[in-house]
A and B are shown apart, each in its own frame.
Chain A
Amino acid sequence: MKKWQCVVCGFVYEEALGMPEEGIAAGTRWEDIPEGWNCPDCGVAKSDFEMVEI
């Protein structure tokens, strides 16, 4: 499972953890998150995230 980081604020989305409180189940892959999704911390669009190597 990969980690993705918001390039603007540094928020990290971990696929393994998901965001259950946001209705995104643990294990949800990045590509399966809707395109209209925004960074929960700063509001930047999904297209402005980048992948962090782990």
Chain B
Amino acid sequence: MDEPIVIVGGGLAGYQSAKEIRRLDGQVPICLISSDGADFYSKPMLSNAFASGKTPDSLILKRASEMASEIGIEVIHERKVDAIHPESREISTGEGRMGYSKLVLALGADPIRLPVEGEMYSVNDLLDYRKFRQALAGKRRIAILGAGLIGCEFANDLLSAGFEVDVFDIASQPLGRLVPPECGEWIMKRMKGVGWHFNASVTRFEEGRVHLADGSSHAADVLLSAVGLVPRTKLALDAGLACGRGIRVNEFLQTSVGDIHAIGDCMEFEGMVLPFVMPIMHASKALASNILGKEMKLAFPPMPVVVKTPLAPTVVCPPKPGLDGAWHTEGGEEGMKSLFLGEEGKMLGFCLCGKAVSEKNALARTLG
């Protein structure tokens, strides 16, 4: 019998790949292996679960067994993949070796941990979130390390749930890597219930206080770290796959080694790591087609990122890395519209806040 297509990873990228392959081929055996329970849940909702009235349990949409029967695949959960053997087309798990016809790496990413002394939570999957929610029980003051996308979303969600929230970042504004300073300021004002601390470097958290490098300290009961993700590349590196920040793939989602593909938060494409949902939706279609032998180039359309901060609605479509240009911003209290313009006034990216977010799709079409 033919070896199955093996997908390593039970997150959205893994399941979405399985669905797209199955959509094109009703017969080919597919096996998805996950180191965790492989229950299917909405990851973007982790950072706005309070506002949508969700608990860690109610975030689960379908159990692994339901996913398996619905898509028509085998799901092996709670099993870690220890090594890839490209020469024999096999992987090693705790239960021995297993052959594959094609291998899809949907390994995800790990939260970056800064060298801060003391207990610190980070949330990048449902299990993390469960622990974080338990830690919140009976607590009031939450400190968040990082004013990026996830930090801002958690700040909004925790604030709306009645917590006191302080956010610390070494940058000088929220969403510093994504939006121009005027938009950052607008977001800050809208989320004025949050204690913002910029140009602030947290060194330790002990005895209910967050300590900064400048010697000051702030009261907090729980510290949440949200300073970004680093793609999981170890399994790939050990097997000799080319990796940069992530596992490198070409426009056919192929890694540098034959019959091995990568997708999702672990993937690097054209120098970019895109840990968002929309790239997975596009990439999984191309991946499925290529795996089944029909070439399809991966081409990302403009993919605006919706920042889930209801207090300060924001959409950003950052310019591709390396493009020259400048932000041109207009607006006021009701909203901000900022366009990143390159040579000859060509729009290369945009950021919309407040009322202006309604222009998202029109602007995205102009970009594309």
A42-B277 CB under 8 A given contacts A7-B61, A10-B52, A21-B362:
yes
Chain A residues with CB below 8 A from B48, complex form? 10
With an 8 A cutoff between CB atoms, is A26 at the interface?
no
Chain A residues with CB below 8 A from B361, complex form? 21-22, 40
Within 8 A of B (CB), among A1-49: 7-11, 21-22, 38, 40-44
Q: Is the CB of B42 within 8 A of A10?
A: yes
Among A21, A40, A44, the residue within 8 A (CB) of B277 is A44
Q: Total A-B residue pairs with C-beta atoms closer than 8 Å?
A: 40
A8-B362 CB under 8 A given contacts A42-B281, A43-B281, A44-B281:
no
Within 8 A of A (CB), among B323-368: 358-362
B30: min CB distance to chain A, Å: 18
B271: min CB distance to chain A, Å: 22
Q: 14 additional contacts, CB 8 Å, given A10-B48, A43-B278?
A: A7-B42, A9-B306, A10-B42, A11-B306, A21-B358, A21-B359, A21-B362, A40-B361, A42-B44, A42-B278, A42-B281, A43-B277, A44-B281, A50-B61
29 A-B interface contacts by CB (under 8 A):
A7-B42, A7-B61, A8-B42, A8-B44, A8-B277, A9-B42, A9-B44, A9-B45, A10-B42, A10-B44, A10-B45, A10-B48, A10-B52, A10-B308, A11-B306, A21-B358, A21-B359, A21-B361, A21-B362, A22-B361, A38-B281, A42-B44, A42-B277, A42-B278, A43-B278, A43-B282, A44-B277, A44-B281, A50-B61
Residue positions of B touching A, CB distance < 8 A: 12, 42, 44-45, 48, 52, 61, 276-278, 281-282, 306, 308, 358-362
Residue positions of A touching B, CB distance < 8 A: 7-11, 21-22, 38, 40-44, 50
